[in-house]
Amino acid sequence: MTFRSAVARSRGGAALAALASRLTDRDRQIALDCYEHRVLTTEQLRRLHFVAARTARERLLELRQLRLLTSFRPQRQPGQGSHPNHWVLDEAGALVVAAELGLERSELRWQAATALAIAASSKLAHQLAVNEFCSRLAADANAAGGKLERWWGERRAAQLLDRIVTPDAYLQLRHAGGAELELLLELDRGTEDHQRLREKARRYAKALRRTDLPLQVLLLVPSLARAERANDALVASSAPTTAAVWTPQHGRSPLRLIDQLALPTPRHSRVTDQQGGPTSE
């Protein structure tokens, strides 16, 4: 079921038809991204869908007027300037997402209040850091002649592992030469103790034993000291895990980081995406 066919079936068909006539395929993908990844900054959406920053800002403001998206700006300390817009799905966007996924709106697990609640959530910084790494990786891969074929958020990443463990993301990266790499991303901001890391490693090992997918775990940590402590905590795990230092403020190119880690790249990937694209669900 496409958005246009959903419009035809809707009781509010006239209003939805007017909306559908003003949306592009890129607009619908942006809505899917905001559903999949919860919150994205203007720059993160620019990397994924635009070339020019001005074009991105202008179109996102138009999508806000159409109620496809809404936005907020986290507060900063006085004298530090303002944060950029942070974009989340809005009511009209939920209709678009439901239609793109072949669902009735009532079947979509999304509520406006919940979507906006991340603005005041302690999870905001973590989610933004994950999205920063992945959106940069998508841009880097495109520039190098490759592609981030799939980027699934934690909801679908957990489903991939039968909910035994919940990665921050599942990534399928195609290099320019055609080799593909499948990663489960864990971003650690230094807040979890060693016991928590060991427990996660145990669950990753359990989950990966139950699948024949060529998955590897990439653990991003904020400092070299944290990486060394993480390696100590993970040494007994059978899960193929690599710890690397990366932060949004000082991190190097995600693609360069992955290349320098020299992670093995299986010839074929076996995860399929029924909806298609790196960020849709």
* pLDDT, tens only, 20-75: 889 999 999 999 999 999 999 999 999 999 999 999 999 999 999 999 999 999 87
pLDDT at position 275: 39
Q: Which amino acid is at 143?
A: A
Provide the H-helix boundaries in the chain: 3-9, 13-20, 25-37, 42-49, 53-65, 91-100, 112-117, 124-143, 154-160, 194-209, 224-234, 254-261
Residue 276 structure tokens: 């298609």
pLDDT in tens, 73-126: 987 766 666 789 999 999 999 999 998 999 998 899 899 989 999 999 999 999
d(CA 254, CA 35): 23
3-120: CATH architecture: Orthogonal Bundle (1.10)
pLDDT in tens, 188-207: 987 777 788 888 889 999 99
11 half-sphere exposure, CB direction, 13 A CA radius:
2
pLDDT at position 213: 86
Contacts of 193 (CB under 8 A, 6+ apart): none
Res. 269 pLDDT band, cuts 50 70 90: very low
Bigger pLDDT: 170 or 6? 170
pLDDT at position 78: 65
pLDDT, the chain, mean:
86
Res. 246 pLDDT band, cuts 50 70 90: very high
Does residue 15 carry a pLDDT above 70? no
d(CA 236, CA 253): 30
Please report how the helices 42-49 and 25-37 are oriented relative to each other, as an axis angle in degrees rounded to 10: 130
d(CA 83, CA 253): 22
Once rounded to an integer, what is the mean pLDDT over residues 256-264? 84
d(CA 100, CA 247): 34
pLDDT at position 264: 64
The domain spans of the chain are 3-120, 124-261
199 half-sphere exposure, CB direction, 13 A CA radius:
7
| Whole-structure pTM value | 0.87
Residues paired with 215 in a beta bridge: 182
Once rounded to an integer, what is the mean pLDDT over residues 223-238? 83
pLDDT in tens, 149-161: 999 999 999 999 9
d(CA 137, CA 171): 10
Q: For residue 70, give the 3-state DSSP assignment.
A: strand
pLDDT in tens, 212-229: 888 999 999 999 988 888
Contacts of 112 (CB under 8 A, 6+ apart): 90, 91, 94
pLDDT at position 100: 92
